Structure 1
Amino acid sequence: MSSSVGPRTSPVTPSNRTRTARPTRTRWRRWVAVLLLSLLTLALAAVLAIGWYFSGQALTVTTAGQSTVTVEADGPDRVWLEREGYAAYVGEHGLRSAEADAWLLAGGTLGAEDAPVVGIVGEILDDSGERVLRSYESISGQLPEGPVEMVMAQDVYWPDPSALDLPFEEVELTGELGPLPSWVVPATGDSVDGAAGGSEDTWAIFVHGRGGSREEALRYLPTLRDAGLTTLAISYRNDPEAPPDPNGRYGLGETEWRDVESALTYAREQGADQVLLLGWSMGAAISLQTLDRSPEAELVTGLWLDAPVIDWRDTFYAQGELNGLPRPLTWVAQQLIQARGDLRLADFDWVARADELPGLPIHIEHSDGDTFVPNGPSKALAEKRPDIVTLNTDSGAEHTRTWNADPEGYDARLAEWLTERASG
């Protein structure tokens, strides 16, 4: 009896199944790991790219404080403004032809027949939703009948102290990087309200904000002069008329304070025995660094700060929120700002450093309506140092526009403070 035997096969066992399936599972896990690593890399790259962009925004040299707006005359003393830029901002603002600055650089003079249109807008008289009607005071030129593009500026006056019929001298300070064009507006020797004090020995040095210019000082000059102070309105590195910083960036006060030191040196050489520093926005941060770092700061007897940056980190978080940036991304941007700018943001936190401030009087004007540099740190500093800091927040005006919203009230507060400082 015979039997046939077929091919021998091995039984399928659990161990065989494992040997067959393991390479498949291993490849699957490897692909998942690669995918997750790629996603993580992309996410990190996106975070760094966003942080790099916003850090560049903070450090990049720019021009601020004005915008263009479409204007149409409505009689001799009223104008319609298209709702764009600053059109609906409360208070007095300057208007001038879009080509006015180029005309001036080409050698034009105010009062000439070809002078550009220059004026001042004030009270909002009507609001149609798309346009706002405002009062208008003509300074030079005549508005055309049809719509025209114009520059609207919070500085109000243009282009120099002559717009206010004030005598002045154009001087060049000797800055670390080169000449710094500046204006000197001499004191009258008269004091406010007949009070004693007002002296040519007391100077005010005006430090404008980021992207601004010495024109920012113009709307305050009459009060400074009436108080009997000589005023020095300076330019500093990266201003259009001043030397650029070699790195092409703002220092947020880390480098600019050296140019304010040059101004203090100039004032001392001209006979000043005390100086009041007036700092606007980033100019306040610069002034505080000057007070902290410069040997010339012994001349300083008081600070007047308008919408000041008291803590850059708080300001950057606020601006990040305005731009829809999550707080962790703003934190990343701040680290990049420190690395790219070679600075420590903690050095600019004057709430944390409040006890390091000298015993000089500091007055702060910082509106509750300021969304660009919110006034939380200003309030916190006033609470920590009530012995030296006074604070006014009673305004709904936007950033550095407290004067524009209420010129008479602002001038009265400034005049009283100046008189007290000069007589002291």
Structure 2
Amino acid sequence: MTDRVRTVLSGLDGIRSEIEDLYKDLHRHPELGLREHRTAKKASQALQACGYEVTEGIGGTGVIAVLAYGDGDGDGQTVMARADMDALPVREQTGLPYASTVTVTSPDGNEQPVMHACGHDVHVACLIGCARLMALAKGAWRGTFVALFQPSEENGDGADAMIDDGLTAKAPRPDVVLAQHVLPYPAGYVGTRSGPFLSAADNLRITVHGRGGHGSMPQAAVDPVVMAAMIVVRLQTIVSRELAATTPAVVTVSSIHSGSGANVIPDSAVIQLNVRTYDGATRNQVLQAIERIVKAECDASRSPKAPEIERTASFPPTVNDEAPTRRVAEAFAAHFGDDAHTIDLQTASEDMSAIPGAFGAPFTYWGIGGIDPDLYAQAAKNGTIAKDLPVNHSPTFAPVIQPTLDTGVRAMTVAALAWLGK
């Protein structure tokens, strides 16, 4: 550990309890994408109080906070550190004393539970902790530190919303952009990976058309339920039969809706699916295969109308730049020792890479663990990690507070200081 890192991190003991309380507060009060008004205000107030120049309301609820220090006015390099703020429409089942009981009204008028089921509350708390440490020890570094709090990552539109609202004119251009995500690894773990890390994601809604009729007279109808069923089965062959075994991809059908009565053949069926890939060629191949299969099955079923295939959401792949990833990996190895690892490919997806893309800046994105280390070790011993440990988006997902928060604060601080020299 360098003297610079030791000096900045020396303030962690003094703010640890406040960061833990902040995390519990954020977890108890989750907000859905583009509604993160309370969360954004918490971040804004915390960083204004320690000397940051704060701009609120970028892309709706996005926040940037800038702190410059050096011989001149912020001379040296500029580091941007990003955290996402939004929660998910999930009913919490963790049983924690600070569990969310929040509900909101959905666009269709129904009650919708809300939970931080993906760990974005961890990200916000850790970035605020890092930003506070940087402010407490300004004399130990030189340059410009930018903390960015992004809305609506889960919907895939938060980064673009900030960019469309003039982010690149409102924040200094970074020399590097940093981000992290809590994942179902043991708490204390940090993992970096150069090149492809998170997958691209495409959500599709497919509507197939039949001809309705009486359930007792199927010969007079064209059944879209059977059509949809055949499509679902055939889609499973894309990864297993059209891609090489060494090419990672996922095609998941998550929803089928059709009909309203037991004796009525409906007019249409709607299929929703999610596609995960890691490079442009595979992405195009899978999407083209889906279109081919859907159209062919509709033709085979005598569909009276062409199917409708809509892409409802897309996330770019997260492909870490080699040079900054290597620098962060070396800094983590020096600081975390055996807890620093090379992380596996992840099938989750992110829109964060749009932000460095807008600035023309390199970036690196890493993972930290959030599972109780003893529970993880026992599950690993039993070979039941996938069965016994909750993953992101589960109603029982809740990272242990420590050492998760300490690790996240330290990781972001150590990474930033790899650029912010003295």
Length-normalised TM-score, structure 1? 0.33
Length-normalised TM-score, structure 2? 0.33
Higher percent of residues as strand:
2
Higher Rg: 1
